[in-house]
């Protein structure tokens, strides 16, 4: 099922779509794969699988450290795709491959899109790819029949909103704050207005991420957006249990269950 169709199906069931982010290979390949399984078993709607990168400029300290741990494990695009291939033998949860442009470019844009499709992922998000420079990447994604997810921010101009609305063949990812990823205490009060502004321009689903970490945040957003994305809060659980990895799966499962309950509108 496509990403857009998944989000619409979840919305029709009276829920906001729950998108969960993890970094491939954090804290190690084996545990990372078990986390992937756990997210699916606990009914996360879509999974973003991050490709570790040495200079993750959009990420806060939590995800930066996760990338560093994965890089120490020598995890790259090929390792991440092998995880997806293995996962697809037993699980159908849609997957977005999330990363920075340079590793995709080095791999080869056409080849990476084809290989992402072959292993069974549904979409790609390249966090540092401006839509104005995305023509070649969008062509490669279209050719591979993948969805390419674009980002908008609270500071996005009307021209940028118009461009992303036209280009996107997937949902639109609205960054909830200016700045990097990370857990925050409060959700921006102006977010409702920004979502409404985007929805005037497109019928594509809008999912909100960066800073969402608690059921209360989900409750604040679920009636105005189509999906919520949570990453740093999950990775903090990994970080807190590096010396006792056997606890990670159980704690992530408990956290995901609480978020899932909050998604009902």
pLDDT higher than threshold 60 for residue 91: yes
Q: What pLDDT, on a 0 to 100 scale, did the predictor assign at position 36?
A: 98
Averaged over 70-98, what is the pLDDT?
98
Catalytic residues: 48, 59
- The pLDDT, as a whole number, for residue 37 is 98
Asked whether residue 77 carries a pLDDT value surpassing 50, the answer given is yes
The yes-or-no verdict on residue 184 having pLDDT over 70 is no
**Is 118 inside any structural domain?**
yes
263 lies in some domain: no
Residue 218 counted as domain residue: yes
Residue 146 has pLDDT above 90, yes or no: yes
Q: For the segment 189-230, what is each residue's pLDDT rounded down to a tens digit?
A: 788 899 999 999 999 999 999 889 999 999 999 999 999 999
Q: How many domains does the chain have?
A: 1
Q: Which domain covers residue 60, as residue numbers? A: 3-257
Q: Tell me, what CATH number does 192's domain have?
A: 3.20.20.70
| Burial of 226 per CB tally in 10 Å (0-12, 13-18, 19+) | buried
**Residue 27: cis peptide before it, omega within 30 degrees of 0:** yes
Q: What is the pLDDT of residues 44-68, one digit of tens each?
A: 999 999 999 998 777 788 999 999 9
- The CA distances from residue 131 to 8, 134, 151, in Å, are 24, 5, 9
What is the signed CA dihedral for 96, 97, 98, 101, rounded to 10 degrees?
Answer: -130
Per-residue pLDDT of 99-110, as tens digits, reads 999 999 999 999
- pLDDT digit string (tens) for 227-258? 999 999 999 999 999 999 999 999 999 999 99
Flag whether 262 is in a domain. no
Q: Is residue 264 part of a domain?
A: no
Q: Say if residue 26's pLDDT is above 90.
A: yes
Beta-carbon contacts of residue 8 (< 8 Å; ≥ 6 apart): 205, 226
Report how far residue 255's alpha carbon sits from residue 171's, in angstroms, rounded to the nearest whole number.
Answer: 25
| Distance set, CA 200 to CA 59, 161, 193, 196, 204 (Å) | 29, 10, 11, 6, 10
The structure's pTM equals 0.96
Neighbouring C-beta atoms of residue 3, cutoff 10 Å = 26
């Amino acid at each position: 099922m496509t990403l857009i169709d998944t989000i619409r199906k979840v919305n029709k069931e009276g829920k906001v779509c729950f998108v969960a982010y993890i970094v491939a290979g954090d804290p190690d390949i084996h545990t990372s794969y078990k986390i992937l399984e756990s997210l699916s078993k606990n009914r996360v709607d879509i999974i973003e699988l991050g490709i570790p990168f040495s200079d993750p400029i959009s990420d806060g300290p939590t995800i930066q450290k996760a990338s560093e741990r994965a890089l120490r494990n020598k995890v790259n695009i090929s390792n991440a795709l092998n995880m997806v291939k293995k996962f697809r033998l037993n699980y159908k949860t849609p997957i977005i491959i999330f990363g920075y442009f340079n590793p995709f470019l080095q791999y080869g844009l056409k080849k990476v899109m084809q290989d992402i499709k072959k292993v069974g992922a549904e979409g790609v998000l390249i966090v540092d790819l401006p839509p104005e420079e995305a023509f070649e990447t969008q062509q490669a994604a279209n050719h591979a029949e993948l969805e390419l997810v674009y980002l908008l921010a609270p500071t996005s101009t009307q021209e940028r909103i118009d461009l992303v609305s036209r280009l996107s063949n997937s949902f639109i990812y609205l960054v909830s704050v200016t700045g990097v990823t990370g857990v925050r205490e409060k959700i921006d009060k102006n977010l409702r207005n920004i979502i409404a502004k985007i929805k005037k321009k497109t019928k594509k689903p809008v999912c909100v991420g960066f800073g969402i970490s608690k059921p209360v945040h989900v409750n604040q957003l679920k009636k105005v957006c189509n999906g919520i994305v949570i990453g740093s809060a999950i990775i903090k659980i990994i970080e807190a249990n590096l010396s006792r990895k056997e606890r990670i799966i159980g704690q992530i499962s408990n956290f995901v269950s609480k978020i899932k309950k909050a998604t009902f509108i």
